[in-house]
Amino acid sequence: MEPAQAGQRGGILLAPGGPRKPRCAPTYLYNAAMQATLPWPDRLIAALDQGLRALSASNTATRPSPAAGVAEGELSSSERRQSAALMRVNHAGEIAAQALYSGQALVARSQRTRQLLATAATEERDHLAWCAGRLDELGGRPSLLDPFWYAGSFCIGILAGLGNDAQSLGFVQETERQVETHLNDHLRRLPEQDAKSAAILTRMAEDEARHGTTAGLAGGAELPRPIRRCMGFGGEILRRIAWIV
């Protein structure tokens, strides 16, 4: 029998000490890759399933919350309401982000673009779960218009992806730039004692910046100024309404 040699055969890693099991990719990346390769009708079914999951209360993060190891600060009633309103707005924004990515992925031309969108959407689901958990801790509630935010953003995502993948990726890049700006604004508006919410928003801003950079490096085209302004106007509508409702 031929002795084992270092290398790879049949999916098993071989080494002088014997066969070793290969490292498995994280489950969320595997699922994102599977979805990116689905045919169009199956992608539509998957998109509908994602919508139901995003609007349910059972979203589970693949990464621990940045607030997990942070002590709860002493917040007054007004400060708690302020933090809850800010986190409700961010939760609604993450609902919209799920829908945008899902709509864009549905009509994306290339598997590479679908993969990029699916991978980014996985991290956005983490944000959604983190915001939902923090809302519960603050005694707040999600926006009553979450189904509307999802449906409207899903349609916008489809429109953004209908042109070509470069425009779709440019839409991602601009969206993330605007989201990062508003997250930094919310960090300034949080009560100073609310370190748990601040930890979540800081990590979210870092992720959004990375998503935008990745989309740009993947070939995202800069969008015309009127479109960028319309995107900013739409985001402002969500923020103002979700603050109240």
Residue 8 lies in a domain: no
Tell me how far apart the alpha carbons of residues 12 and 15 are, in angstroms, rounded to a whole number: 10
Q: Are the C-beta atoms of residues 32 and 119 closer than 8 Å to each other?
A: yes
Residue 2 lies in a domain: no
What CATH number is given to the structural domain containing 222? 1.20.1260.10
pLDDT of 54 reads 65
pLDDT of 61 reads 83
CA distances from 118 to 6, 139, 169, 211, 240 (A): 35, 31, 13, 11, 28
Residue 125 lies in a domain: yes
Residue 184 lies in a domain: yes
Residue 15 lies in a domain: no
Q: Is the dihedral of CA 84, 85, 88, 94 positive or negative?
A: negative
Max CA separation in the chain (angstroms): 76
Residue 21 lies in a domain: no
The number of distinct structural domains making up the chain is: 1
Low-confidence ranges of the chain (pLDDT < 50): 1-34
Residues in CB range of 186: below 8 A, 6 or more apart: 86, 89, 90, 201
pLDDT of 49 reads 65
% of residues, the chain, pLDDT over 90: 64
pLDDT of 88 reads 97
pLDDT of 149 reads 93
Residues spanned by the domain of 236: 27-244
CA distances from 103 to 11, 114, 151, 234 (A): 35, 10, 10, 17
Residues in CB range of 213: below 8 A, 6 or more apart: 173
pTM score of the predicted model: 0.79
Residue 16 lies in a domain: no
Tokens encoding 133: 């958990």
Tell me how far apart the alpha carbons of residues 108 and 113 are, in angstroms, rounded to a whole number: 6
Residue 37 lies in a domain: yes
